[in-house]
Amino acid sequence: MYTRYINLLVICLLNIIVINSNIPKSMQLNGHLRIVVFLQFIIWIFQNFLSHVNVSVLERLSHLDADPHECSLWLLLKKTQSTIWTERLQAVQDLAQNHYWQDYQYRTAAQAIDHRTAIGLARTPQVDLRFFLPPPALPEGGLWCFGGNGLPYAQSLTTIPSEKVESFCLQALVQHSKVLSHCDHIVANGGLHLLQRVYQLRRDSQKIQRNIVRIIGNLALNESLHTAIVQSGWVSVLAEMVQSPHIMQASHAARALANLDRDAEVQKYQDGVYILNPHCRTNQPIKADVLFVHGLLGAAFKTWRQKDCELTEDEESAGVQEDYTECWPKSWLASDCPNLRILSVEYDTHLSDWRAKCPAENQRKSLAYRSGELLKKLKAAGVGDRPVIWVAHSMGGLLVKKMLLDATKDPELSPLVKNTKGVLFYSVPHYGTFMAEYSVNVRYLLFPSIEVKELCRDSPALRDLNENFISIAKDQEFKVLSFAETQPTSIGPMIKILVVPGQSAGRSS
């Protein structure tokens, strides 16, 4: 077989020489073009050779007088194209863990790997970023080069800083990227390149970068857009961001990469479902899921941060460093229990409706609506396929109870209830809170939101919800642990109160 390829190579070379000598001089190939044609033949022959040669032959070739690192590189690149799934994933892992290659070999690999391999490498812990091609060159100029002169003209009419205008536009795009049909329009109209430009211009703004990657994560839910996302250079950006020491940045990038990685992932992470652990591919079996659900005015990350602590001047001068984490489930729980998949969910909440809004928003803020939406997202993420532990704060505890109650009524969601092993409640108003009642009493001034109205003390709806939840917990025999406030919370500079009194927070079982 190999003799055939050598003979074919010689014949091609002779043909180029003979054909070129038998045509008029004005039509002969010049020296450079002759080399190009010859190289194209070599590449074609080499590709056909690789398609027929098996891995064992390549392994034997690696023992010849050649750079062993060079041979192992091409051997691993060949294995990344294997039709055997386990071999393919192992090759990507081995490729990422070799740190003895030279710079030119990384550049060679970056040009040779396909999209699937690039995504797999990006999801490998501490991968060398030289494996990834930089984003393609963008048009010269600012943002106007994508959309005409409209943006500079709009900015000239206001004194709002351009960064804030861009932030508002990105928030609107986030909402559009949640609609499947809108995603196609975003990509078709150059949205990926525009977002790339904004990302590069605003490297000093973590908030803007998070919103951009949030949009990419939403677009990645549509598999038909994966090629466009990779070709526009986002894999290298995400590979760098997932290694960020900032947990929020890394978690947004981890979600986008997980949605792109269809070779190792079956689950999809919808908007508002964030991966705290693991951020990358892992060989460790995941034994359970732990879900963190925030409460009123909370968020997927800030609710679970460590209490803010400022060092004194003496401590700073002494070089004392604050052991601070912006998200303890990621920093502490993941470190102690690496075999857990830790997810944090996020949803919008408001104290007041004192502002213009869409009339449909009231329905979307109700506990029942949020329960249905989150259950769909968690099912897509594969929550319920393994043991589940819930950790909920404030109104998030009511939402967890509502979701478990709704899941019992849907046969497709019954595994979620059966696999629930425990629920931890942190200051959850099982029977409401007087603060909500106060807000409703001054409703003409504060215009309390739907979620606040649902938290009224001794609400019949909350009582029924709690009783039904207790019944489910007893039937399914999962553990329930409630924590109540013992220290007052500062509301402004002069007021300190218990937001959820102990008698309300501790009556869930």
Average pLDDT over every residue of 271-290 = 95
Query: What integer pLDDT is reported at residue 40 of this predicted model?
Result: 59
314 or 64, which is more confident: 314
Cβ contacts of residue 113 below 8 Å, gap of 6+?
A: 77, 80, 121, 131
Closest CA to 294 of 268, 276, 308, 277: 276
Whether 330 and 461 share a structural domain: yes
Domain count, the chain: 3
Query: What integer pLDDT is reported at residue 14 of this predicted model?
Result: 45
| Spatial contact of 254 and 275, defined as CB atoms under 8 Å apart | yes
Q: Give residue 133's pLDDT band: very low, low, confident or very high (50, 70, 90).
A: very high
* Low-confidence winner among 325-339, 357-371, 382-396 (lowest mean pLDDT): 357-371
135 or 443, which is more confident: 135
Mark which of 131, 158, 185 sits at the end of a domain: 131
Q: Give residue 300's pLDDT band: very low, low, confident or very high (50, 70, 90).
A: very high
Q: Has residue 339 been placed in a domain?
A: yes
Whether 105 and 148 share a structural domain: no
Mark which of 84, 111, 131 sits at the end of a domain: 131
Query: What integer pLDDT is reported at residue 137 of this predicted model?
Result: 81
For residue 127, CA distances in Å to 95, 98, 132, 238, 243 come to 9, 9, 10, 12, 9
Whether 352 and 473 share a structural domain: yes
Query: What integer pLDDT is reported at residue 71 of this predicted model?
Result: 80
Query: What integer pLDDT is reported at residue 120 of this predicted model?
Result: 97
Q: Give the neighbor-by-neighbor strand order of the sheet with 288-293.
A: 273-277, 340-345, 288-293, 388-393, 420-426, 479-483
357 or 47, which is more confident: 47
Average pLDDT over every residue of 144-148 = 47
User: pLDDT, tens digit, for every residue of 200-234?
Assistant: 988 999 999 999 999 999 999 999 999 999 999 99
pLDDT higher than 90, residue 27: no
CATH number at residue 256: 1.25.10.10
Cβ contacts of residue 1 below 8 Å, gap of 6+?
A: 52
Q: Has residue 319 been placed in a domain?
A: no
Query: What integer pLDDT is reported at residue 339 of this predicted model?
Result: 95
| Spatial contact of 243 and 250, defined as CB atoms under 8 Å apart | yes
Whether 86 and 235 share a structural domain: no
Average pLDDT over every residue of 393-418 = 94
Whether 40 and 149 share a structural domain: no
Whether 404 and 298 share a structural domain: yes
Whether 261 and 210 share a structural domain: yes
Q: Look up residue 265 and give its DSSP letter.
A: -
Closest CA to 252 of 302, 210, 206, 293: 210
Q: Has residue 317 been placed in a domain?
A: no
Whether 120 and 208 share a structural domain: no
Query: What integer pLDDT is reported at residue 136 of this predicted model?
Result: 85
pLDDT higher than 80, residue 478: yes
Closest CA to 268 of 285, 250, 256: 256
| Spatial contact of 472 and 400, defined as CB atoms under 8 Å apart | no
Say what angle helices 206-219 and 234-241 make with each other, to 10 degrees: 120
For residue 356, CA distances in Å to 66, 359, 454 come to 71, 9, 21
Range ranked top by mean pLDDT from 22-31, 52-61, 486-495? 486-495
Query: What integer pLDDT is reported at residue 507 of this predicted model?
Result: 53
Dist. CA 484–CA 479, nearest whole Å = 17
Per the structure block, which two tokens stand in for 2?
């190999």
User: pLDDT, tens digit, for every residue of 253-262?
Assistant: 999 999 999 9
5 or 202, which is more confident: 202
136 or 234, which is more confident: 234
Find the helix or strand (DSSP H, E) in which 292 lies. strand 288-293
Average pLDDT over every residue of 38-64 = 55
Count of alpha carbons within 13 angstroms of residue 248, beta-carbon side:
20
Whether 259 and 283 share a structural domain: no
Query: What integer pLDDT is reported at residue 34 of this predicted model?
Result: 54
In terms of Cβ atoms closer than 10 Å to its own Cβ (0-12, 13-18, 19+), residue 487 is: exposed
pLDDT higher than 90, residue 130: yes
3-state secondary structure of 167: helix
Closest CA to 254 of 342, 375, 365: 342
Query: What integer pLDDT is reported at residue 43 of this predicted model?
Result: 57
In whole angstroms, how large is the CA radius of gyration of the chain? Answer: 29
Query: What integer pLDDT is reported at residue 286 of this predicted model?
Result: 95
pLDDT higher than 50, residue 26: no
CATH number at residue 442: 3.40.50
Per the structure block, which two tokens stand in for 280?
């990358």
Q: Has residue 318 been placed in a domain?
A: no
438-453 as b/e: b if 16+ CB within 10 A: ebeeeeeebebbbbbb
pLDDT higher than 80, residue 169: yes
Sign of CA dihedral 256, 262, 264, 266: positive
Q: Helix H segments across 83-160?
A: 85-97, 103-112, 115-122, 144-147, 150-156
Whether 122 and 212 share a structural domain: no
Whether 61 and 147 share a structural domain: no
Query: What integer pLDDT is reported at residue 35 of this predicted model?
Result: 55
Q: Has residue 315 been placed in a domain?
A: no
Mean pLDDT computed over every residue of the chain: 79
| Spatial contact of 217 and 229, defined as CB atoms under 8 Å apart | no
Query: What integer pLDDT is reported at residue 404 of this predicted model?
Result: 97
Mark which of 96, 131, 166 sits at the end of a domain: 131
Average pLDDT over every residue of 64-90 = 82
Whether 340 and 442 share a structural domain: yes
Q: Has residue 174 been placed in a domain?
A: yes
For residue 295, CA distances in Å to 304, 349, 367 come to 11, 8, 12
Per the structure block, which two tokens stand in for 107?
């550049």
Average pLDDT over every residue of 336-361 = 73
Dist. CA 248–CA 207, nearest whole Å = 10
Query: What integer pLDDT is reported at residue 278 of this predicted model?
Result: 96
pLDDT higher than 60, residue 394: yes
Q: Has residue 124 been placed in a domain?
A: yes
Q: Has residue 312 been placed in a domain?
A: no
User: pLDDT, tens digit, for every residue of 38-49?
Assistant: 555 565 555 565
Q: Give residue 450's pLDDT band: very low, low, confident or very high (50, 70, 90).
A: low
Domain that residue 334 falls in: 279-307+324-509
pLDDT higher than 70, residue 356: no
Per the structure block, which two tokens stand in for 272?
């508002």
Query: What integer pLDDT is reported at residue 139 of this predicted model?
Result: 66
